[in-house]
Amino acid sequence: MDSIVSVFGSYVDWDVKSLLLFTAVFILTADYIKTRQPDSFPPGPRTFPIVGNILNVDFTRTHEILTQFVGRYGDVFSLRIGQTWMVVLNGFEVLKEALVNQGDSLEDRPYIPLVEDVSHGRGLIFSNGNTWKQQRRFAFSTLKYFGFGKKSLEPIILDEFAYLTSNFLFNCKGKPFNPHLIINNTVSNIICYLVFGHRFEYSDEKFVKLMKCGFWSQLYNSFPLLMRRLPGPHQTAKHIWNSTNDFIREEIKEHRQNWDPSDQRDYIDCYLNEIQMRNGQGGNAFDEENLVMCVMDLFVSGSETTSTTLRWAFLYMAKYPEIQAKVQAEIDRVIGQSRQPSMEDRANLPYTDAVLHEIQRFGNVIPLSLPRVTDRDIQLGGYTIPKGVLIIPNLTSVLFDKNEWETPDTFNPGQFLNKEGKFVKRAAFIPFSTGKRACLGESLAKMHLFIFFTSFMQHFTFSMPAGVKPVMDFHFGITLAPREYEICATSR
């Protein structure tokens, strides 16, 4: 009897082992079949079952890791993150070929789980096809009407700068302060003026919530089915998004109550008018859900890059006081202290303009352009990239391209000046990406940056607190932002 039990137990034990072995082989085989590389696909680091190349990439310094891979695999290489194959594009010539010359094949955004959960394919940034074209065309024309990138917006920017200085910076009296939130508030209020028709006090609770919006999580996007059920930062991001969503809807509700089609005060008013005009039309992409996402996208594209660049600017001016002094001398000579800066001054401030461009290049605020997806098979860099492959344009590789810049790894404003000291445009200067999907807020960001930076240099000298050296480390997120710091702004 004991021998029968022993044999039966041994059989069960081997049966369980066989089942586990079969399951493991099945999972690995299914993973291989699902994720195997197509023919003529770009090379890349060796992938691991299930997780792909997640172990190869430090997601706190993604842009640096991807740029390092160029030396090993070339300007066009592949990665697999989770179950998703992607191709990373590097260097100015490759990005120009892909995003400009073959831009029609790379107009669409890929499916990104966390983004899809909140945007549902709506808005300006992550929509595709007819929805994207309609929303982008409308946003450009409407914002242009309200002064987007025009001289008529200058007084609004200058008034916000005056509010910042009189209510905060002058009160600091040269003492250390953290510029993070105050600069975000200042820049974002310009977007509030365009979108909501009014500014907010920096202490306004609803405004503070709006400033905290963010929704980026690489792990969630790699394993969406699992991560939707787990706690973590991605769930916090969704909670913040829901709060921001409520705030925007409340603004829309107030606009509806006071809406006058003959007196359109801002972007929301114009959008509500568009909803009414297009009601019942076929292919109409204008509704309140799209409006909410468009408002959010305008804040991300119109304020995040500018506020982050200005925070880098303060650090670089503190680190290179001789450059700061030269900028201030040029501003004193051209503008003086008796009037405010204007975009018309730009042509007469070549060194200031060069420094601002070098801050954008070296600060590398958008290290990776938002992903695209191929809508057909394309040839790039001698490789075949099939339809449906996610594309990552590595802007870092362009802004630090040794074939395009004299001193790519050194902060050097002279790269934007000729021998006569005049400002020179550089083709490889694409901090806002390039092609049809380039950053919507580029023209506004350029105006923001020039007027704010010139105004700061006109009225203040930036330095680190006593005994503190500038730390140029960063936080990798929606933008490449400097880690929070304190700085001194001394009135001139």
Binding residues for heme: 439
3-state helix, strand, coil in the chain (%, to 5): 55, 10, 35
Q: State the burial class of residue 404 (Cβ atoms within 10 Å of its Cβ: 0-12, 13-18, 19+).
A: middle
Q: Are 275 and 287 in contact (CB under 8 A)?
A: yes
* Residue ranges of the binding site: 439
> Which H or E run contains 476?
strand 474-476
DSSP calls for 217-275:
-HHHHHSHHHHTTS-SHHHHHHHHHHHHHHHHHHHHHHHHHT--TTS--SHHHHHHHHH
Longest dimension (CA), the chain: 106
Q: Which residue has the tokens 């010539």?
A: 93
Angstrom CA distances, 57 to 170, 232, 234, 369, 397, stand at 44, 20, 19, 17, 16
User: 106 near 128, Cβ under 8 Å?
Assistant: no
Which residues face 77 on adjacent strands?
A: 88
- Indicate the residue type of 196: F
Helices (H), 258-381: 267-278, 288-299, 305-319, 321-334, 350-363
84: nearest Cα among 383, 388, 379? 388
In residues, how long is the chain?
492
Distance in angstroms (rounded) separating the CA atoms of residues 452 and 255: 30
- Are 350 and 423 in contact by the 8 Å Cβ rule? The answer is yes
DSSP states along 196-231 = HSS---TT-HHHHHHHT-----HHHHHSHHHHTTS-
Bridge partners (DSSP) of residue 489 are 462
**Residue 372 near residue 427 (C-beta atoms within 8 A):** no
